Amino acid sequence: MDDEFNIVYDPPTPTLYNDLRLEGGISGKSQEAATVGLKNSLFAVCIYDEKTLIGMGRIIGDGGAFFQIVDIVVKPSYQGQGLAKVIMKHLMNFLDQNTYPGSYVSLIADGPADNLYKQFGFKYTYPRSQGMFRKY
């Protein structure tokens, strides 16, 4: 698979980012929010088919105590090829090399995606703790 596509460790442009998110069925972000957020990524992995962004994932956080995996998305026409797993492997390699004892890595799994994350050792926090959010 890695020979078929280009893997890049830089975030995409805000426009490509939003286009992929929307096509992949997750919410879009404002141009301003995408610009600031992408610039502040701790780590990003993008998969391109020539010049077409077909998948991505990012790690955000403080770089020491807390890390969060976000933006795992694959273009629908490329789903089912194991690309999300490739993205996760690159993200996990970064975390394996850049976390510290006691670092906390979190993510929010939508629907059936939890099966992907379980393969990488992620577990539900409930009942010990419960995820919460507030959207603006």
**How confident is the model at residue 2, as a pLDDT?**
53
**Count of domains observed in the chain:** 1
129 within domain boundaries: no
Query: How many alpha carbons lie under 13 Å from residue 122 in its C-beta half-sphere?
Result: 19
Query: What is the CATH number for 17?
Result: 3.40.630.30
User: What residues of the chain score a pLDDT lower than 50?
Assistant: none
Q: pLDDT, tens digit, for every residue of 85-102?
A: 999 999 999 999 999 999
The Cα–Cα gap between 33 and 91 comes to 22
Give the pLDDT score at 131. 84
Separation between Cα atoms, residue 58 and residue 71, nearest integer Å: 6
Q: How far is CA 121 from the centre of its chain?
A: 16
- Determine, yes or no, domain membership for 35: yes
**For residue 16, what pLDDT is reported?**
98
CB 10 within 8 A of CB 46: yes
Instruction: State which residues form the domain around 101.
Output: 6-118
Residue 109 placed within a domain: yes
- 122 near 107, Cβ under 8 Å? yes
Query: Would you say residue 126 lies in a domain?
Result: no
Bond prior to 112 in cis (omega within 30° of 0):
no
